[in-house]
Copies of this chain bind each other. A is one copy, B any other.
């Protein structure tokens, strides 16, 4: 490429860092790419850092030493959480979403790239994932959200399946009891998907009693992996005591009243008061 001016180099650096959150780029990488001295790149990165932090768009971490590098860490403020989660709530409160049995139609929200990109960044701001190896979810509705969390944290995604598949090689399967329906369900995962001794964060779209999350935790034990965090987009208020203890919901669904056509859903207050 032609020689870039400072402004242009900064623009290019931001694009590359934004597309690859939590990935370390060395000064040499940029210095080769732009045919510029490392000292010049260092100055560009100082500006990038100031801009991202002044505008509350991300955190920029620089590492010194032989390697010397930089990475972008997605972060949302309490104010941004309020906006993101408020928008989702207002969309989900539409009474046309009420389905027979008091279920809520929400796949359009769960599969909207724009919305769940933000959800991924909200989750990334809630967990300490420094030592985490994988994001784990179970098919199907939670996959897009879990992928966006994995992308924000730069971690591989693991999807537990309902059935064994020939394309996964030898698998481990477990049965678990769905807490809300009491039905016995099954999940399976390829033996080679997770390295023993790993740490994982579980992400799902919805939690009622917590049976599915418990199933995932049990499955992780089969792989000698430790669950260090659980996040769900929506948790129901009742039952207040879930089968799992530690989990972070972004939204609380208190009630869907079929007769009155009312949906009572609101953001988890803990996320609106940080800093």
Copies of chain A in the complex: 2
Q: Does A193 contact B (CB under 8 A)?
A: yes
Which of these binds chain B: A10-18, A213-221, A225-233, A260-268?
A: A10-18
B51 touches A19 (CB 8 A): no
B141 touches A140 (CB 8 A): no
Q: Given A18-B18, A56-B1, A169-B105: A144 and B117 within 8 A (CB)? A: no
CA distance A121 to B19 in the complex (A): 11
Please give, as numbers and ranges, the residues of chain B lying within 8 Å of A140 by CB-CB distance: 139-140, 143, 159, 161
CA distance A168 to B107 in the complex (A): 7
Of B12, B56, B101, B159, the residue contacting A57 (CB under 8 A) is B12
Q: Given A14-B15, A103-B166: A113 and B154 within 8 A (CB)? A: yes
- Nearest neighbor of A118 in chain B, beta-carbon distance: B19
A11 touches B48 (CB 8 A): yes
Of B20, B100, B147, B154, the residue contacting A147 (CB under 8 A) is B147
Minimum C-beta distance from A47 to chain B (A): 5
Minimum C-beta distance from A87 to chain B (A): 14
B11 touches A51 (CB 8 A): yes
Please give, as numbers and ranges, the residues of chain B lying within 8 Å of A103 by CB-CB distance: 166-167, 169
Please give, as numbers and ranges, the residues of chain B lying within 8 Å of A57 by CB-CB distance: 12, 15-16
Q: Given A8-B54, A140-B143: A117 and B18 within 8 A (CB)? A: no
7 contacts between A and B (CB under 8 A): A8-B50, A11-B52, A12-B55, A16-B57, A99-B169, A108-B156, A141-B167
Q: A20-B117, A105-B167 are in contact. List 20 more A-B contacts (CB 8 A).
A: A4-B55, A10-B10, A11-B11, A11-B47, A11-B48, A12-B55, A14-B15, A15-B51, A15-B52, A18-B18, A18-B19, A99-B166, A99-B168, A104-B167, A111-B150, A112-B157, A113-B150, A140-B140, A140-B159, A144-B147
